[in-house]
A and B are shown apart, each in its own frame.
Chain A
């Protein structure tokens, strides 16, 4: 069973969003890392890059395939997890923690309503098992 953490928002593209005031932290879920298999390469945006909800903000590559990363909300990148670029295996080891990918400004908190809560996402994972 894939781990799902309470208090986060989840997208249908398997990103998680942690809200902290006007700022969000974004990563990919345990379900996603498991489906990808061993992650070996990442491309992440520079600070200052702006994305709308649904835009591609980066790429994650596993031994299996390359997958786009979709921004779950609209905003500007405040910080990128540079350490992750040198240690992409953290995505497998600690997807909700050390493997956070970017911090963004939250331009439109209304977009959070489009995302799932932990319960909804757990059910979404189960559907695909």
Chain B
């Protein structure tokens, strides 16, 4: 199993190390996932997300290549813009969900750890027809996130850059605690914050300086469990759960991420789905009966199994038992009564509006 540069730090801090996509990472610290979750909603949290991968795209055909392999119109992106996007197979199902950064001399893609090898092989295959160089820079690029309403104030203490002027989904190069890094005003928690891309040799120093700087603001180191409950409340999909190679983005309600006039791979299949309407849709639900929905539990409608839960948990922010899952489109309206089959027993639930928690972003 792979270890990040912060492995020893996590162990010293009492992190409970688990296997995640081949990486040994903390699922929680002794504070516990619920406390960590609330810290991010109310103050700030620090995440080691070095397991995520980064690819660089350079060369004269960079833009044309990206217009072919992902769904966002990158020709409308200004230098330093960052955008959520998708890589799709020809049949419209999902290779991965990614972030695209337009940098002065290159493009950068941030990809999921579990999909890194697959993504690189898939992109390489398509890159062959273009004058581009595609490089996996994951090993030398360390990714760390600070998220929460106090993230800006904490980072501001360690930099001369004017962070108030940095809008959501843009990036900048700056020194933080004397360490030069690329920062995206991005994240996957539903809160404002930054994701740092820094030289791997500087990771431990940056982590410690940030924790120190945020101590009095309630900044906590957070593990994978809090990261999952935070993204879940904001209804951000997680690959392998809400999206995968058997689901398409329209079913997953990710149509907003797609620029349809871009000639991306998978567009024909998706347009067909769009015209015919998807057979099933991702819905949010809240338990009516006592019970806790978990991933994989069947969803029944009128007594018949009709779908399944993709993520279920007790939402720490709402203090309610909620979940995400797929049901046939005809039964996907808010207010529809469904049943979650909890260990063999049907429990009443009702379809509710998504997201469970409205993301808060920085406007500048």
Contacts and interface: CB of A to CB of B under 8 A. Distances in A.
A66 B344 CA distance: 14
A1 interface: no
B343 interface: yes
A61 B343 CA distance: 12
Report the contact-size class of chain A (Cβ under 8 Å from the partner). Answer: 10 to 19
B34 interface: yes
A38 B292 contact: no
A43 B28 contact: no
A64 B343 contact: no
Interface string B326-349: 000000000000000001000000
Nearest to A65: B294
A114 B33 CA distance: 36
A22 B229 CA distance: 44
A40 B290 contact: no
B356 interface: no
Given A63-B33, A63-B229, A37 B28 contact: yes
A18 B258 CA distance: 61
A51 interface: no
B227 to A, nearest CB: 12
Contacts of A124: none
Given A40-B314, A41-B314, A61 B34 contact: no
A40 to B, nearest CB: 4
Contacts of A80: none
Q: What's the dominant secondary structure at chain B's contact region? A: mixed
Contacts of B225: 37, 63-64
Interface in A29-79: 37-38, 40-41, 43, 59, 61, 63-64, 66
Nearest to B33: A63
A15 B228 CA distance: 30
B343 A66 contact: yes
A3 B313 CA distance: 28
A41 B33 CA distance: 15
Contacts of B16: 37
Contacts of A43: 290
B321 interface: yes
Contacts of B34: 38, 40, 63, 89
Interface string A73-102: 000000000000000010010000000000
A37 B343 contact: no
A93 B229 CA distance: 21
A8 B16 CA distance: 29
B265 to A, nearest CB: 38
Interface in B300-337: 313-314, 321
A105 to B, nearest CB: 26
B32 interface: yes
A41 B28 contact: no
Interface string A1-38: 00000000000000000000000000000000000011
Contact of A38 (B33, B321, B343): B33
A68 to B, nearest CB: 9
Nearest to A59: B343
5 A-B pairs with least C-beta separation: A40-B314, A41-B292, A38-B34, A61-B292, A38-B32
Interface of B: 16, 27-28, 32-34, 225, 229, 290-292, 294, 313-314, 321, 343
12 contacts: A37-B16, A37-B225, A38-B33, A40-B34, A40-B314, A41-B290, A41-B291, A59-B343, A63-B33, A63-B229, A63-B314, A66-B343
Given A63-B229, A66-B292, A66-B343, 16 more contacts: A37-B16, A37-B27, A37-B28, A37-B32, A38-B33, A41-B291, A41-B292, A43-B290, A61-B292, A63-B33, A63-B225, A63-B314, A64-B225, A66-B294, A89-B34, A92-B32
